[in-house]
Every structure is written in structure tokens, then in C-alpha cells.
Amino acid sequence: MTDPTPPRGELDGRHIVLGLSGGIACYKAAELARALVKAGATVQVVMTASAEQFITPLTLQALSGRPVFGSTWDAREVDGHANNMAHINLTRGADAVLVAPASADFMARLLHGRADDLLSLLCLARAIDSCPLIIAPAMNREMWAHPATQRNVAQLRADGAHFFGPDSGAQACGEVGEGRMLEPDDLLEALIGFFRPKPLAGRRVLITAGPTFEPIDPVRGITNLSSGKMGFAIARAAVEAGAEVTLVAGPVHLATPRGVRRIDVRTAQQMFDAVMPLAPEHDVFIATAAVADWRPAHLSDQKIKKDGSKVAPLFELTENPDILAAVAQHCVAGRPFCVGFAAESHDLLKHSREKLERKRVPLIVGNLGPATFGRDDNTLVLVDAHGHRELPQADKLTLARSLIADVALRLEPAAR
């Protein structure tokens, strides 16, 4: 699962119809149902006869806490309705139908409006305007790549269906390629993001994250304690808000948020070289990375070893390029909108305001570095020309969403 873990209750009040069609990926649906319930959703499972060959309705009933439906002729009461119309009643009041796994055969049925089992029937009978259809494909790589499947996917998209995945990797058949169903935690993340507001739809956001590493010799270097968690959380929040996101990341061990284009770099110069050509193409630049101010002027091509003299080696340092200031200097008509981060050890407001003025950017986000590096929570202060506003302590994803919402509001006048 991508970092950070979403806060509990992300799907409170949501009602999800979880459909299972036939495929070995049905085993993942058990964990998905559990994750959805844990996130606060109510989950109504509907299975095809083929799905029941891979996992039992009893398992899904135990995990969802609700009776599982499979037959078009099931006469059980559904949410107070006893009219033998499960295909109608199961989706009324639902926030989405998520079919996971969705086989190639099931997608073909949806395309043609087939309605000869309960799951395909309720997909056809759902209220399109209020109950979106989300498809999580799962099939062999050749089946996914087949022209017929790709035509079906294109038409289903045109008809309004949304696709989560597929992923690429090892498949149950032993082959490797595209077609795997997303992992349950990835599907949960995608569904949470699906329901988030989209104030940055149509916008492009460029983000830097993590530390830089400035080598002294082949095995040692100058770096800092930044984990990159805040920048990666901002990248996820920006995708959730509808943006197209590029993330330039220093050396960190974090999974890339889904939907984010990631560029890995090591040094400040490499980060500068990656950012500068991209910045003019983006609407927003958020410089979260803790970039080293200095680097050794000369790199030893061999490990610097002790020589018994007990005299420490001396290093001449040279200044690294200032990425945020360089991007701000080349802004055209306020684009990209530049957001800087100030990780301070003391006098947070004073140093944040000084950085705002020195870098000539519209917004600085201040935080106390020693209190947040490596942690999953933080406290931020937003500093602009008019004053400052605090974002109280919270997990970094919650703070990232608040920051993205603030940036989106600041962009609105420029869009008018």
C-alpha cells in the first residue's frame, strides 16, 4: 500500500455494492471487503455463479456483515423491500458499484447490456447519475491486450464506466504482464480518492520530495533526515483533487501514489536538472524536498580512509542551485504558482517569512524539522504576504489535503 495509511473513517456513510465475477483474483475481494468495512463503508456483496467457484458467499458475508446475493430470483428482503426485485433495490442508495474482479467475459456482458445474471442486471438497472460503475479488471495479460477487450474497455469508458487498474506483474498462470487486479489496499486508496472533490481538475502539479544526498566519496555523503512522507502525501492529495502530478523524489523508500509520475534523483543538482525543464509546463510547483544547501566542491574517486594521523579531512563546499528561487524567477504570469517549504529548528514564523520574501514566492509552508522528520504526523503554518494560518497537528495526508485545498482556492482568481 502507498504511504501514508489513510485515516480511519475515510468512507464513513458510503454504501458500496461490491461485485465479484469469476476469476482467481476473487481471493483479493475478501481482503477488499474487510478494508472497505474498516474504512467505514457498508458493503453489499453480489457474486456471479462463476465467482462462487473461487470463494464462498459465506466468507464474504462474514467479512461484510451483510447477506450475499447471487441469484436474480433471490426473494429475500433488501433494505425494507420485499418485492423480489433485488436487481433494483440493491443499488438504490448505493454510492457506487465496484466490480472487483471484473473478468473479460463480464466486461463484454456490460458492453452489450447483457442482463442474464444478477450482477450484470443490477449494473444495467442502476441509476447512472447517482451510482457510478467502477471496474477493476483481472485477467491474463493476453486477454487484457486482445483487441476485443481493448475495444470493450474504450466503449465502457465512453459509456461512463471508471477503471481502477489493471496492474502489471506476476499472474496466477505463471506469466508476467498487465492484467492483474490491483491489490486491495490500492483499490481502497483509489476508491477514497474517487469520492474526493476535484478542485484541481485539469491542472498540472509538480512536486519535489525527500532529502538529497551529496556524495563525498563513493560510500559517504551529506544528507538530512527528511523521510519524504509529506511530499508523497501531497502528491496523493493532488491526484485525489484531480490534478496530473509529477513527483521528483530524492533517495527515499516510499511507494509511489497511484496515478503519479515519479522521477527519482539523488543530488540537488540532479533535482534541479529534472525540475527546471518541467516547471513551465505545470500550473503549480510545490517544493517539499529538503534540498542540501551545500555539496563538496570535489568528489574523491576512492573511499577516504583514516591514515592514523587522527587529523580529520577538510572539505571545501560549494553552494547548490536554489531550485525554488530559480523556478519562481522564471514564472510567467504567475505560472507555476510556487509553494515553498521551510523546515526550521526555531523561530519558525520569522524564518518562514524571511524565506517567503527572499525566494519571492506567494506561499511558504513552515514546520519544525526535528519535530516531524520521519513521523506520520505534523503541524504546519501557511505564510503569505498577508499573514499566516496554522494547520493543527494531524496525519500528513490530512494536512496535505488541507494544503491542496488552500492552493486550489488561491488559483481560482487566476482562472477567472
Whether 126 and 110 have beta carbons less than 8 Å apart is answered as: no
Three-class secondary structure of residue 97 per DSSP = strand
CATH number (domain holding residue 36)? 3.40.50.1950
Q: Cα separation of 377 and 4, whole Å?
A: 10
pLDDT score, position 280: 94
| Residue 2 resides in a domain | no
**Cα–Cα distance measured from residue 278 to residue 362, given in angstroms and rounded to the nearest whole number:** 20
180-214 pLDDT, tens digit per residue, is 999 999 999 999 999 999 999 999 999 999 999 99
Q: Side by side, which strands form the sheet with 133-137?
A: 42-47, 15-20, 96-102, 133-137, 162-163
23: left (phi over 0), alpha (psi -120 to 50) or beta: left
Q: Look at residue 233 in the predicted model and tell me its pLDDT.
A: 96
Q: Is 3 part of any domain?
A: no
For range 51-59, the mean pLDDT = 96
Whether 314 and 365 map to the same domain: the answer is: yes
> 211 and 156: one domain?
no
Residue 188 CA to residue 39 CA, distance in Å, equals: 8
Measuring CA to CA, how many Å separate 278 from each of 63, 202, 327, 334, 362? 46, 17, 10, 15, 20
Residue 13 per-residue DSSP state:
T
Provide the 3-class DSSP secondary structure of residue 139.
coil
In this structure, are 160 and 220 located in the same domain?
no
| 8 inside domain | no
Q: Are residues 286 and 304 in the same domain?
A: yes
| Best CA proximity match to 238, nearest among 375, 404, 82, 114 | 404
State mean pLDDT over 39-49.
96
Least confident of 70-79, 212-221, 311-320: 70-79
Tell me which residues are annotated as active site: 173
pLDDT of 318-354, one tens digit each?
999 999 999 999 888 778 999 999 877 777 888 899 8
Residues 186 and 221 in one domain: no
Of 210, 191, 222, the closest CA to residue 250 belongs to 210
What's the per-residue H, E or C state across 314-382? CCCEEECCCHHHHHHHCCECCECEEEEEEEECCCHHHHHHHHHHHHCCCEEEEEEHHHHCCCCEEEEEE
**Domain region containing 408:** 204-415
Q: Do 59 and 120 share a structural domain?
A: yes
First to last CA, the chain: 38
Question: What letter represents residue 408's amino acid?
Answer: A
Give the per-residue pLDDT at 4.
47
- In terms of domains, do 181 and 277 share one? no
- In-domain check, residue 375: yes
pLDDT at 416 over 70: no
Q: Kindly tell me if the per-residue pLDDT of 123 is higher than 70.
A: yes
Q: Are 223 and 212 in contact (CB under 8 A)?
A: yes
End-of-domain residue from the set 174, 195, 216: 195
CATH assignment of the domain containing 258: 3.40.50.10300
Residue with the bigger pLDDT between 370 and 325: it is: 325
Looking at the structure, do residues 359 and 280 belong to the same domain, yes or no?
yes
Residue 249 placed within a domain: yes
Q: Which residues pair with 206 in a beta bridge?
A: 246, 285
> Domain check: are 130 and 155 in the same one?
yes
The arithmetic mean of pLDDT across residues 117-144, rounded, is 95
What pTM value is reported for the model? 0.87
Q: What's the grid cell of residue 2?
A: 502507498
Q: Where among 195, 213, 241 does a domain terminate?
A: 195
Residue 225 is assigned to a structural domain of this protein: yes
Helical residues (DSSP H) of 133-283, grouped into ranges? 141-145, 147-158, 184-195, 229-240, 268-278
- DSSP string for 283-322: SEEEE-SB--SEEESS--SS-----SS-------EEEPP-
How many domains, the chain?
2
Domain boundary among 165, 195, 225: 195
Asked whether the beta carbons of 18 and 45 are under 8 A apart, the reply is: yes
| 244/162 same-domain check | no
